[in-house]
Structure 1
Amino acid sequence: MLPRETLATADVPDGETLTLVSHGRDFIIMLGRDELMGTRMQYSEEQLAVLTLAELRADRPRVLIGGYGMGFTYRAALDKIPDGGSVTVAEIVPEILEWAEGPLAHLTGESLADPRGEVVICDVAALIDDANDGTTAKYDAILLDVDNGPDGIVRDANYRIYSKTGLAKARDALRPGGILAVWSAAPDHKFTVRLKESGFDVEVREVRARPNNKGPRHTIWFARKP
């Protein structure tokens, strides 16, 4: 059995410690003993962007992503964004970008230099709040992959994002017809109800972790603002 090698660690603000490990040719980001993400199972995180952009009606969509991670969602969004569109990622752990430019550079490619995108070191909730001040342009899509889902919170401050207050903020930050898409490691019926009560039209899809229709089943909510 191949051993896991620890490459780096980083502290989540007001949270626990992330560990980047290698396992043969694969890379994994761990939170304690739990795997948050890895290169063997990235398909559902890519589909978070691919499926959302396929449903957008905007000609030049402005997309906000909560969480860079290993960049799966970000790179998929850049690959599918139409001409004139833009993608902003909010990431709260600066070391994540150091990993992207270091041990994970072969995954990152030229994405961090792509003029259509930018990565901002901040809480995604702050950018959502800024879009509610009446002066910042609204988003056509907000993609959230900041935890293991609404029922798998990694950082206590993120509870607000999934609350009725946070969902109302996200709804107001979206243009009409815009989509809030939320990734989760597991289904959560209560969150589906909360989205509907927050004024969204909701579709829930199950997506495999691997493109060969294998691996764990993950949940993505697509909540459209009427």
Structure 2
Amino acid sequence: MTTTSRRAPVSGAPRLRLAALVAAPVLALSAACGSGSGDGDGDGDGGKQDQVASAPESPGKGGGGDKAKGSADPSGGDKAGKSAFFDAQMTYVRCMRTKAGLKDYPDPKLSGYLNWPEIDKIVDPNGGGEEYKGGKDGVCGDELRAAMNLEPKRDQQQDFESMLAHAKCMRDKGVSRFRNPTMADGNAQPGGEPDPTSPKLDTKSPAYEEAREACASKLLDGLDGMQ
């Protein structure tokens, strides 16, 4: 569902697992982040990534009518739908402040998307990422699912191109193993970690953090934390 340095040693993985669990993300979460043996320098994959960067698997579906339910159009869309999305996110935020006990949980952006950089700042480094998962024991899980189900439709081709530009930027800034996004069945699939089962990117390293900050502007609203 964007980015400053994380102030707690919790990677983006809880966000990705959350989206998979709560039922409605359009972007498949195949790029779960994690700590590994390095930031990917020197493996030579960056050149290959750039060579195939303009060849998504399903180029004809991303920008048109084959859009999955529950996604969001960052460039426009129904105003009433956006208002309902924002209101639902505010309900979730209030729950996180009260039931979840996180009194400093930030307001969503005007677009309705959660403010991940500000959420990152309140993450408990000794916790399990409850700030990303609807609070301890999912106390606000129902509110979170309700908000995600109201997320407006996205233009999948725009999302793909945004994540592609971000991936190229990350490689240009020294994270050479950062994988390109793909398209599958008309939906943009995040890139990033080349092997989620055995992470190779050290997402907590200063080099990775610097690259992420430098490339944050490449991602459309709502895509931060997705790759």
Please state which structure has a larger fraction of its residues in helix.
2
Greater per-residue strand proportion: 1
Question: Which TM-score applies when normalising by structure 1?
Answer: 0.23
Q: Which one scores higher on RCO, CA 8 angstroms, separation ≥ 6? A: 2
Q: TM-score, normalised by structure 2?
A: 0.23
